[in-house]
Amino acid sequence: MPPPNKRLLAILVLSVSCFFVDQPTLAQEKGSYRPKLSLKLSAGPGYMAVGDLNRHITAFDDYMAGSIGFYRGGKMKRIGHLTPDLEGEFRVQFRSRFALALGSGYLSGSNRSDFQTVGNFPFSGDWSPSLFEFVIEPKIRAIPLKLGICYSLPFSSRIEFLLNGGIGLYFSKASLLKNNDIEYLAANTIPEMPVVYSQYEVRGNGFGLHGGVGLEYRLARGVFLALDAQGRYAKVRKLTGSRVFWYFNYLSTSQGTDEGTLYIGTRDMTAEGYGDSCPDLVVSLSQNMKRAALDFSGFAVTAGLRIKLF
């Protein structure tokens, strides 16, 4: 089976091909067809790839599982791939079989982990039995602005089959809270509780492709039940924003705000007690880092209503 982006490209090519194949019909209708405007609202379940935010949480969880004595991993929850898909679309029917579609939608996902575990801290140097309390909370959302073309093929007086494809601009935003409160458990240790805290807020825009098939059933004059299955390929490859950080222990305190482009990889976090090759996200380029990306690629199966306005 070809990858999703190639399948979408095939649908787009087929849509354009239908336009040229139907040129005789279009020529006959020219000057006699009155354009029609309709509004479609739909919703349904979908799948979203998510991208580097989930990859970082997985890598960070695996690293902690290998570094904290009694933690076996799996408690740092990623954003789920199954997400709701909401869409609204204005459709201009400029020929009997062809329409332009201008629409928007809403894609989102989030999760939260809050748990405790026991191990040794810091991961190198003088090890002390400690209680770790982790809070991990990722969020992601996108509002796409989409432009496409629809080709309809009547089955009967009430049913039409549709083929659609187009491009979109995705306006995205993401955030991630990572907090670790650490309490030393040994009786002879100092009472201070180390804290490692980061709060990320980033946003970015990116183009994507979409395409799919649909079926519409006329319920009444000007009112249609719309069923659609649509795939999309969309990545936001540059994210900019800020990271608020705070690190505290009995030896030192470090806090501040970084601003710039978001990167993913590993870095030396010995000062924070995590070791010299810890998975992390930063907003300034450093060694072993690459640009982080959000991936909204996926698919959705939706149902809704299309209402003819005039």
Distance CA 9, CA 96 (A): 24
Our measurement of the distance from residue 90's CA atom to the centroid of its chain's CA atoms, rounded to an integer in Å, reads 24
Nearest-5° Cα angle at 163, 157 to 167: 140
Rounded mean pLDDT for each run of 10 residues along the chain, 310 residues in total: 50 49 51 85 97 97 90 93 96 92 97 93 78 96 97 93 97 97 75 84 97 96 96 97 86 84 92 88 84 97 96
Amino acid at 276: D
pLDDT of residue 184: 83
Supply φ then ψ for residue 117, to 5 degrees: -155, 165
Length of the chain: 310
Q: Are 134 and 179 in contact (CB under 8 A)?
A: yes
Asked if residue 224 belongs to a domain, the reply is yes
Q: Are 183 and 164 in contact (CB under 8 A)?
A: no
Distance CA 7, CA 163 (A): 13
Asked if residue 31 belongs to a domain, the reply is no
Q: Which residue has the tokens 């960070």?
A: 60
Asked if residue 27 belongs to a domain, the reply is no
Asked if residue 29 belongs to a domain, the reply is no
**Whose CA is closest to 188, among 118, 252, 128?**
128
Question: CB neighbours (10 Å) of residue 83?
Answer: 21
**Whose CA is closest to 270, among 291, 247, 289?**
247
Distance CA 204, CA 224 (A): 36
Amino acid at 7: R
**Whose CA is closest to 163, among 101, 86, 207, 218?**
101
Amino acid at 137: E
pLDDT of residue 20: 46
Asked if residue 94 belongs to a domain, the reply is yes
Cβ-based neighbours of 80, under 8 Å, separated by 6 or more: 109, 111
β 195-220/223-236 pair status: antiparallel
Q: Which residue has the tokens 């739909």?
A: 42
Asked if residue 272 belongs to a domain, the reply is yes
Asked if residue 25 belongs to a domain, the reply is no
**Start-to-end Cα distance in the chain:** 42
pTM for this structure? 0.86
Range of the domain at 252: 4-20+36-308
pLDDT of residue 248: 80
Asked if residue 28 belongs to a domain, the reply is no
**Consecutive H or E run containing 9:** helix 4-21
Q: How many domains are there within the chain?
A: 1
